[in-house]
Chains A and B, each alone.
Chain A
Amino acid sequence: MLRPDSKGRIGIDSLARRLRERLGGRPISGYAAEVTDEGTIVLRPRIEVDADEAATLVLGNDDRDALLAAFARPPRANARLKAAMRRHRKTVVGA
């Protein structure tokens, strides 16, 4: 949350620092900026904003390549996932 000063300004250093903290390496396109009635700017991850709505995740080159590689050769289910499936069958009534 970024609060402007009494003249409605936000220091660029403060903005940059808070953005770095908030984004943690994620692209800015992944966030939506909202301005409250009090003039406070709130950055919310688009994925949280849209998590329960039909949403689109736009992939950049690295992400796209990772996805295409997985489609070309789908990874086999690992031992932990298979164990979770077995536990599901044992513990969930009607599974």
Chain B
Amino acid sequence: MNLRIRALDERVDRAGFSSGSDPLDAWFHRQAGQSQRKRLASVWIATTDPEPGVVVGYYSLAPWQIAFEEAPPDLTRRLPKYPLAATLLARLAIDRRWQGQGIGGVLLADALRRAHVASKIVPVQLFVVHAKDEKAAAFYATHGFRRFPRTPLDLFMPIASIADAGPA
């Protein structure tokens, strides 16, 4: 099976997409286009090669910042003076008909590749994901993401680790 991944456009049947997750489906049906038009997020869709209008899955990327609570003086000098810029994988979903075929991993790889390429133009040090539940968090953890101890549904990967995966 071949996939094509491109930015969301008006040629696709968004209403027909169903991942089984109401929040992810509702956002894609009603808000994805607006978020992309307003440049709040970039939305990327995967379609099968012969059916460019049928969405197999999607993900969205958004800008993100990491700041630090007040730190002891000996640590302060090791911390950046400004919030760290990060790329957030805000959402990733696969249509029910295509689940269980490894497409989630392919979309994750695509998101990481784009973040890695973008970081060469505008430096970003971190890739962050916000998992909707523990099952999703486990998916990211098995791909090498580390959990923030205090908010274990938030996971991160240094951009340097993406380079090690051989993205480009």
CB contact between B106 and one of A63, A74, A91 (< 8 Å): that residue: A91
- Which residues 35-87 of B sit at the A interface, judged by CB distance below 8 A? 35, 40-41, 46, 49, 60, 62-69, 71, 75, 78-79, 83, 86
Instruction: Count B-side interface residues using an 8 Å CB cutoff.
Output: 64
- Which residues 93-126 of B sit at the A interface, judged by CB distance below 8 A? 102, 105-106, 108-110, 112-113, 125-126
Main secondary structure on chain B at its contact with chain A? mixed
In the complex, per-residue mask of A51-80: 1 if CB is within 8 Å of any chain B CB, else 0: 111111111111110111011001111101
Chain-B contact segment, one of A1-9, A32-40, A82-90: A82-90
Instruction: Count A-side interface residues using an 8 Å CB cutoff.
Output: 43
Residues of A within 8 A of B (CB): 25-27, 30, 47-48, 51-64, 66-68, 70-71, 74-78, 80-85, 87-88, 91-95
Query: Are A80 and B143 in contact, with the CB atoms below 8 A?
Result: yes
Once the chains are docked, how many angstroms separate the CA of A23 from the CA of B153? 12
Query: Are A74 and B158 in contact, with the CB atoms below 8 A?
Result: yes
Query: Are B146 and A78 in contact, with the CB atoms below 8 A?
Result: no
Offer 18 A-B interface pairs, CB within 8 angstroms, sorted by A: A26-B153, A47-B130, A51-B90, A57-B65, A57-B66, A57-B67, A57-B86, A61-B69, A64-B68, A74-B160, A77-B144, A77-B164, A80-B105, A80-B143, A91-B2, A92-B2, A93-B49, A95-B113
